[in-house]
Structure formats: C-alpha cells, structure tokens
Structure 1
C-alpha cells in the first residue's frame, strides 16, 4: 500500500476509526486501500493520526496512547477527534474483547457487533450507578445508540480477506493466521487460573468445558449487547452473572466513554473468555478478524454499501 499523493483537508474525512491497542491500529492500516499524506493538527490535539480511504470513503485512524486504556481515555481521544475533524459523520470503535461463552456459541476469533435492544443502546456500562443498602448496586443512566445500520447475515468472507492481506504484507502471516480449534480452550466459569503463568499448561484439564467441533474455522459474526467499564473482566462467575442479567455477549473497556458524545458502531474480535484464564495468544488474529468485518464486509455486505447505510445516505 503506497501513500497516494493528493490534496486532502481535514474536512474531507467523514469516518473516525478508534483503536485501543497499537496491534489493532496496525491491522486497520493494513486494510486501507489508499494511504494519504499526514495533516497538521492543533497543539491542543495530542492524538497521532493515520489517514487513508476504503472504497472511496476517507477515514482517519487514531489509537489510544500506549498503556492507557479505559472509558475516560476514549472520551478524551474522541473529543479531540471531533475538534480537529469537523466533518466526521460517525465513529467506529474497533478492537478486541472478551466473550461470554454462555450466550450462544461464541468462539475465539469470532466477532461481536453492537446492536441496540429495547432497553439499551448497544452498550451497557455495568460499573456506573449507585450503591444502596444491603450492598445492592443499582445501575443508572442510558447510553446513546450507535448510528443505524442494516446488517446482512451471510456466509463470512473474512478468511479470504485475511489471506489477501497476508499476501500483500507477508510479515503479518504469523500474526493473522488462525490459531486452531485445539488452542481454543474454555474452562468452567467457577474454575480459576491455577498460577501466575501466562498459559494454562498447569490448569486442570478435567475442568475444561466440552464443546462440539464446529467443523470450520471461519469467524462467526454475532450481534448484541457489549458491556463496557473502566476495568478488565477476569472472572467467569461475575461475567456470567452480568451476562444473565443483561444478555451481554462480550466485555471491553472503551465504548462507554464514547457513546453519549461520539456515538459509535462497536466491533470486537473475540480474543479471550473474560475470565482468569485470559491471555494474549489470540489477540493478533482477533484484531485481524474484526478489522476484516469492518473494512470489507459485515456478513458479506460490501463496505461501500455498509458505510452508506451507517451514514444514512
């Protein structure tokens, strides 16, 4: 992907793509059809941007500062984006997340897309509320809905797109190769990680959950509620408790800081099961799979059509 010379101004960019991790940003940049020259920003804007286009839509990509995560950081990033780019029409929060395996057949490498319900706008901020008597916690407030979109559910073309990206960027082969079903291990919700090791080599294999083999390694796209908070979810017990209460499909740490002032469509590649066994083994692949969902297809829906539906045109 070469940088395309041209005259672009701040007002030419209508889509803001926000990533939480550098590896997520790298996957996003790899899928740009064109890379645009950098633009100057105001001294009050501390963000670093990458500019480009996908199917003719001009996109500005920004990442949270290294090592800085959470809803507050995301809110600051978004406010600076809106200050610098006045023509932004909608935002995309694209990254990795932890799945709730009890809510349908969600596997590592799958993708969850936020979808509003009758009571929630696609995102649940589960740590926002007030503590009442008897240590009862009451969640308060509602978050805005994402931009409206019609998602068509068809067979996924993500593997072919990942393969195409690897051909263009051979150095990414190891990062974005499917890890294999044998590496997708789920433990019982009440069984905690045995030690401080980064792998589960010493965890009790008898506490693994038995699941049928899908018979294919194509990522599945799921639509529903995403839980967001200023904390990492690493408890299978609390994960399932909250999921049963709200119908949550996955957990993440940034979207709640965006929705009220910068409504976004939230797309999360599943890299762990939001329990004490979580590790980084699937992060690269899951970053790639959710990027494919956004950049090319949502259920085989071409991005040009998908973005037009998001923007209401």
Structure 2
C-alpha cells in the first residue's frame, strides 16, 4: 500500500531505474510504488524529471522520455543523464507498451505482457532497422545487442516457475492500483467493452480519418479461440526495437517469421548495450494499420504489474553485490 511521501533518501540509495517513454506508462509505474519518496534535486547535466519511491525492498527511480521525443537515441540519453545523479543504480527496467505479433506459436492478445528473453542468437532485443543494405534490397542486420544481467534473468526464471503453480499477481496489483487511485480505474483496468480485434495481415484499415474500426470488414477478422479468463498472459522471447512505428501487418509478419519477434517498440535498442536492463512490454495493438489508443493505459498497467511482481523476486543482497550501472558502462 502506497503511503504519503517520506523524507528523501540520498541519490546513491536508489538501485533500480524504471524507464518509461510515455506519460501513461509513467503514471502506471508511479501507481505501482509501495511507497512514494520526496523528490531529489538533480546535478548539472541531468535534465530528467524523476519520481522516487520503493517497491518491496528496492528503492526505485522512475524517469520518462521528454514529451514528443521518442526513439532509441532519446532512451539512451535519459539513461545516460540518470547515471549522473543516481550513481548507485545497479540495473534498469524498460517498461511500457508495444505492438504485438500474434502467430500460431504465440497467441498474443491485447493486454498481454512480453518480456525480452535471450535466445541462442540474440540478447532479447533486436534492432530490426539497423544494418547494411545488400543485394535485392534486403537489410543484413549487424551486431547483437547485450542480454539482460544474470540477476534479472534468474528472477525471470523464478517468476516463470512461480506462475506454473500459481497465477500471476498482475490482476490483483491492478485492482489495488484502482482502489488507491480511483481516477485511474476507467482506463487502467480491464474493460470488456474494449474490443480486441485482430484483422488479417493483408487487410488494411479502411478509414484514415478515424482510428476506430467501425467501418472495417468484420469478415476479415482472424478467428481465435475464446480465452477462459481475461487475465493477461505473459510471453517470453525477442522484442524488436527501432526508430519507426510499425503500422503494417505484412511487414510485421515478414519480420516476425524471419527473426522470431513477439512485439515491436521504439526505445529498448538505445538502452541495452550501455545500460544493464530488462525490457517489459504490455501489448496495446497489433503493429498494423488498425492501431488505436484504446488499450494503451491497460497495457501500460499490465507491464508495470509484471515489473513490480518481478522486483519482489529480486533479493536485496543480490542487488547490493552487483556493480553499479556506471561501472558497467565504464568497463565497456
């Protein structure tokens, strides 16, 4: 249960960075805090605005990208400036929304959560729009981005194991959020009146003047089995990151087949190589021309709920024994 602001700690007391791209993502993050702390002044060169608090045993610093300035470079700048003030940070969580990639192997629905998990060939995040052009107009992707720190990957494994025997706490955490912040209830909780529509990849949105799909042909919807529960399902795998919004179902599926991608976003590739972090995304649309913003707040809440549940799995002793993010960066 969140409390009134407490007397401020020192900057070096904060060990976890929680980075968001959008105001609704930051609102969900702040609402998940167990305790809110008094704001701290930043040092020259750090232009970020922060929310400070505690989740479980961890002191957390929350930052958001500048309004209207998105993409991989902006995310990298926020993390770089954060380290100027908060030199005790051990790791980061990049938490927010993304466009999902449903497939026969991954039944991804709106409100589900995707966690960036390494594979044999990739570190959990792929910068899909970076590389060199080769014959035939193809893009040959060069380099592999860093994987999350081992401490976070072991916590992910522990949480996966816990969810085999017991359901995720995300629905309960969101219900608690709504109880403590009634003004967030309407948009940040599950609402069956929001339609979850997945159209065929080849079928484009019909009316560019509106974001609703009232005029789209419902005969072109993909048939999917109804779920027994409305609780979000958590998927683990590769997250595609780039500087352009993915809004085409054909390109989405082509890249997914080629690379094994579960969702698309726009910030993580700027972070993971210089900042030890895990990427957590709530699915708010299907990365196609039928994009709309109806699911954004709820997807932000499910991602924030997973982040909070994960932090409860991370032991404080492990964090204390981990080198600071500043040292990790300087050693590269």
What does residue 9 of structure 1 align with? Answer: 10
What does residue 314 of structure 2 align with? Answer: 306
Give the CA deviation at 1:181. Answer: 7.8
| Among 220, 223, 238, the residue aligned to 2:251 | 238
Give the CA deviation at 1:247. Answer: 0.7
What does residue 177 of structure 2 align with? Answer: 165
* Contact 1:179–1:282, Cα closer than 8 Å, also in 2: no
What does residue 238 of structure 2 align with? Answer: 225
Farther-moved stretch of structure 1 (129-138 vs 27-36):
129-138
* Contact 1:71–1:253, Cα closer than 8 Å, also in 2: yes
* Contact 2:57–2:316, Cα closer than 8 Å, also in 1: no
Give the CA deviation at 1:107. Answer: 0.5
What does residue 53 of structure 1 align with? Answer: 54
* Contact 1:225–1:249, Cα closer than 8 Å, also in 2: yes
Give the CA deviation at 1:177. Answer: 2.2
Q: Unaligned 5+ residue runs, structure 2?
A: 322-332
* Contact 1:144–1:260, Cα closer than 8 Å, also in 2: yes
| Among 196, 206, 212, the residue aligned to 1:194 | 206
What does residue 63 of structure 2 align with? Answer: 62
Give the CA deviation at 1:141. Answer: 1.2
What does residue 197 of structure 2 align with? Answer: 185
What does residue 325 of structure 2 align with? Answer: none
SS of residue in 2 equivalent to 1:81:
helix
Change (3 A) 1:310 1:27: farther
What does residue 141 of structure 1 align with? Answer: 143
Farther-moved stretch of structure 1 (84-93 vs 126-135):
126-135
What does residue 266 of structure 1 align with? Answer: 279
- Regions of 4+ moved over 4 Å: 307-310
Give the CA deviation at 1:10. Answer: 0.8
Determine which structure has the larger helix proportion and give its number. Answer: 2
Output the TM-score relative to the length of structure 2: 0.89
Q: Unaligned 5+ residue runs, structure 1?
A: none
What does residue 262 of structure 2 align with? Answer: 249
Q: Deviations over 1:126-153 (max 9, x none)?
A: 0110112332221111111112223233
What does residue 87 of structure 2 align with? Answer: 86
1:207 matches 2:220? yes
What does residue 127 of structure 2 align with? Answer: 125
Query: Cα RMSD (Å) of the superposition?
Result: 1.6
SS of residue in 1 equivalent to 2:99:
strand
Q: Deviations over 1:92-144 (max 9, x none)?
A: 10000010011411100000001000110000000110112332221111111
Separation in structure 1 between the aligned mates of residue 303 and residue 113 of structure 2, nearest angstrom? 6
Change (3 A) 1:132 1:187: same
Separation in structure 2 between the aligned mates of residue 225 and residue 18 of structure 1, nearest angstrom? 19
What does residue 324 of structure 2 align with? Answer: none
* Contact 1:181–1:217, Cα closer than 8 Å, also in 2: no
Give the CA deviation at 1:84. Answer: 1.6
What does residue 98 of structure 1 align with? Answer: 99
Change (3 A) 1:140 1:310: farther
Separation in structure 2 between the aligned mates of residue 87 and residue 55 of structure 1, nearest angstrom? 17
Output the TM-score relative to the length of structure 1: 0.94
SS of residue in 2 equivalent to 1:185:
coil
